[in-house]
Structure 1
Amino acid sequence: MNICILAALHGSDETLTTRVGDDEADRAAARCAHRIERAISAHGGRLIEATRERTLARFDDANAAIQAAVDALDRIRNLPPLRGRKHPARLGVHVGALSTEMGKPSGEGVVQALRIANQCEAEQALASAQAIARLGSAARHLVASRPVAGLDTSRLDVTVHEIGHGKAEAVRQPLAQRNERLQLRHRNGVVHVEEIRPVVLLGRELGNDIVIGDPRASRQHARIERRHEGFILFDESTNGTYVAVEGQVERLVRQDRLLLTGQGRIGCGFACEEGDEREIVFFDFE
């Protein structure tokens, strides 16, 4: 069966090791792997292999795979710099056959995705024409219109395009030009995240915009920012932030970020099904 495969290579190389040392290079590789796994999970992918050197995931939808790759690069590029070196993360996306016999992923889809990733530079993602052909409007703007030139074609028998380079700033309408705003409801109060109030703070301290009374919430628990790409929740807590979007499985965000979509509930330090409903923050878009 053909499936969309995302392959990520994140092992440290000799050049990076020479520049920052073995320990720091290993830590950088581990940080990249962690953020790649977070991006995969955030976009509905399923891990089929996760080792020190590489991560493989499957997606039922090519749009989600491309978005996960771009999200992973964003998370990695936000990491602290490595003395002038890029982080060891190279991602390839391809649609092809997948087999998991004997518990080891194989098949043309896996082989080609790994070959594509191996042709990437650090902090780069490439996708095959086969994957791009399956894209809809949700992710097509994330793909370069022209194929990548100058690759070692003897190692590839597919055409590839770069994804996530410059993303969509030149194509997508800036958020500031839209009228959309995020409505947050807590107890009897309503707070809006909008152009005139682009950041809202949540936490146990009285100085927050939304004060959470549950003791599991941190004093400065989380913030929601209005950015070009949408409304982003950033968790800064000890116990994490639970986000339950209507029609989806509840997610735990811990020391990470999540793009808010649709309508749903936010639990600061507790799962939405387990907490006091008075302390849950309900959100939707207007």
Structure 2
Amino acid sequence: MPQTVTCTVLFADLRGSTSLYESLGNAEAASVVTQSVSVVGRIIEGQGGRVIKTLGDGLMAVFKGPLPAIRAAEEVHESIDRVMGASRPASQPVMRVQIAMVHGEMIEVAGDCFGDAVNVSARLLDAAGDNETLLTTQTLEPLPPEMRKRFRRLERLHLRGRVEPVEVWRLEPRRGQDAASTMFGDSAPTAAPEGIRLASEGVSRIHTVRSLPVIIGRSHEANYCVDDSRVSRSHARIEWHSGNFQLTDLSSNGTYVRFGRQSEVVTLRRGACTLHGRGVICMGVSPNVLNAPTISFEILRFDDTDPQPI
């Protein structure tokens, strides 16, 4: 008999497995992925959760409430980081974990789960960056006040299949822990940046840390609306994360970054990179493509820059 229950639905996904298959071969890569998914499953069960099903290089689980689900998510991130750091050769690609969770009603039938909480959690996973845990407002509200302080509001996302946007929050790392993922090889400047200048179609604005996050996309609700069919409604997010300005791709077609005058282009597909210096952000296609939709950026320090909009 179908049973309606209220619980926290968690989806976890290991990203980077495709590169593992390319570098290690099918047998060895499959072993690494299988073992990693098993580690995630054991952590979830150790926190009182129940694995509903595995999904290739990810899984779906349910918890009685959001607090044990968040504890499991933190332990999963830390465990996968240790595994990748301890046993991975320098030439082997790194796998990252993305986690999304939603607290709400679902229907359980023959060991599987269905309903709005399941659908929203699955769609929210697509918006998570490397090593991020995302959840909704209704998932945040039952948490103790001290735990709620560790979450940062991102934006209202338009999720596939839903008319109304969903308010999303991200779990910040514990104090002293740096969870930022930088996909560009050069190191960021040692002095903390204080602002970022973004320019598009002749309009230039300066954003301080307090005015972030900034959403770039085709939607009129985005901070920078780029009317181009190659651009997703919510295409990319710029935010202050672990002491840097971080760009996260949220799109279907990818986000591309070129730093300064360098010819190399950094490609982000649901990943993130730290912005430094100056350069261009291109949505949907490479900046080498004619008439590509782009936004230029420049990281600022206000001791030698006038922080006024141009």
Query: TM (normalized to structure 2)?
Result: 0.47
Matched, 1:33 2:37: yes
Equivalent positions of 1:169-208 (< 5 A) are: 169=176
Within a 5 Å distance, the mapping from 1:222-237 to structure 2 comes to none
| Residues 1:23 and 1:72: Cα distance change in structure 2 (over 3 Å) | same
Change in Cα spacing, 1:26 to 1:120, as seen in structure 2 (3 Å) is farther
- The question of whether the paired residues in 2 share the 8 Å contact of 1:28 and 1:88 is answered with no
SS of residue paired to 2:166:
coil
User: Which AA in structure 2 matches 1:136?
Assistant: P
Post-superposition Cα deviations, 1:29-65, rounded to whole Å, max 9, x if no partner, equal 2232122112212221122223434322211221111
Secondary structure class of the residue paired with 2:153: coil
Partner of 1:139: 147
Distance of aligned partners of 1:71 and 1:154 in 2 relative to their CA distance in 1, 3 Å threshold:
same
**Cα distance change of structure 1 residues 153 and 57 upon mapping to structure 2, 3 Å threshold:** closer
> 2:134 — aligned with what?
126
Total equivalences in the alignment: 167
Partner of 1:91: 99
Deviation at 1:166, TM superposition (A): 2.4
Query: 2:135 aligned with 1:114, yes or no?
Result: no
Structure-1 separation of matches of 2:161 and 2:123: 7
Rounded to whole Å, the distance in 2 between the matches of 1:101 and 1:134 is 26
1:159 matched residue in structure 2: 167
Structure 1 alignment gaps of length 5 or more: 171-286
TM-score by length of 1: 0.50
- 109, 112, 126: which one pairs with 1:101? 109
Cα deviation per residue 1:125-178 (whole Å; 9 max; x = unaligned)? 2112221122114532442x23158x7755773222222x422348xxxxxxxx
Match of 1:184 in 2: none
Q: For residues 129 and 100 of structure 1, what CA distance do their matches in structure 2 show?
A: 23
Give percent identity, aligned residues only: 19
Counterpart of 1:269? none
Measure the CA separation in 1 of the matches of 2:106 and 2:114: 6
Is the contact between residue 7 and residue 113 of structure 1 (CA under 8 Å) also seen in structure 2?
A: yes
Quick check: 1:21 aligned with 2:25? Answer: yes
Tell me, in whole angstroms, the C-alpha distance in 2 between the residues paired with 1:141 and 1:68: 18
Query: In 2 relative to 1, CA 89–96 (structure 1 residues): closer, same or farther, beyond 3 Å?
Result: same
Q: What is the distance in 2 between the residues matched to 1:35 and 1:121?
A: 21
Q: 1:94 to 1:2 in 2, by over 3 A?
A: same
- The 2-side partners of 1:57 and 1:91 are apart by 11
Amino acid at match of 1:45: G
Aligned to 2:11: 7
Query: Partners of 2:97 and 2:34 in 1: how far apart?
Result: 10
Give the letter aligned to residue 30 of structure 1: T
Q: Determine if contact 1:2/1:109 at 8 Å carries over to the other structure.
A: no
Mapped to 2, the partners of 1:148 and 1:74 lie a distance apart of 26
Q: Is the 8 A contact 1:120 1:126 kept in 2?
A: yes
Measured against aligned partners, the alpha-carbon deviations of 1:74-119 in whole angstroms (never above 9, x if no partner) come to 1111113453633153211111222122432211111111111222
1: CA distance between counterparts of 2:23 and 2:167?
Answer: 33
Name whichever of 37-46 and 49-58 sits farther off: 49-58
RMSD: 2.8
- The structure richer in strand per residue is 2
Aligned equivalent of 1:63: 67
Q: Report the alpha carbon displacement of residue 66 of structure 1 after superposing the two structures with TM.
A: 1.1
- The 8 Å contact of residues 28 and 87 in structure 1, kept in 2 or not, is answered as no
Residue 78 (structure 1) aligns with:
82
Per-residue deviation, 1:69:
0.7
- The change in CA–CA distance for 1:43 and 1:148 in structure 2 (over 3 A counts) is farther
Does the Cα contact within 8 Å between 1:9 and 1:54 map onto a contact in 2?
yes
Code of the aligned partner of 1:60: K
Task: State the 1:68 CA deviation.
Answer: 1.0
- The 3-state SS of whatever aligns with 2:77 is helix
TM-superposed deviation, 1:4: 1.0
Unaligned runs of 5+ in 2: 178-310
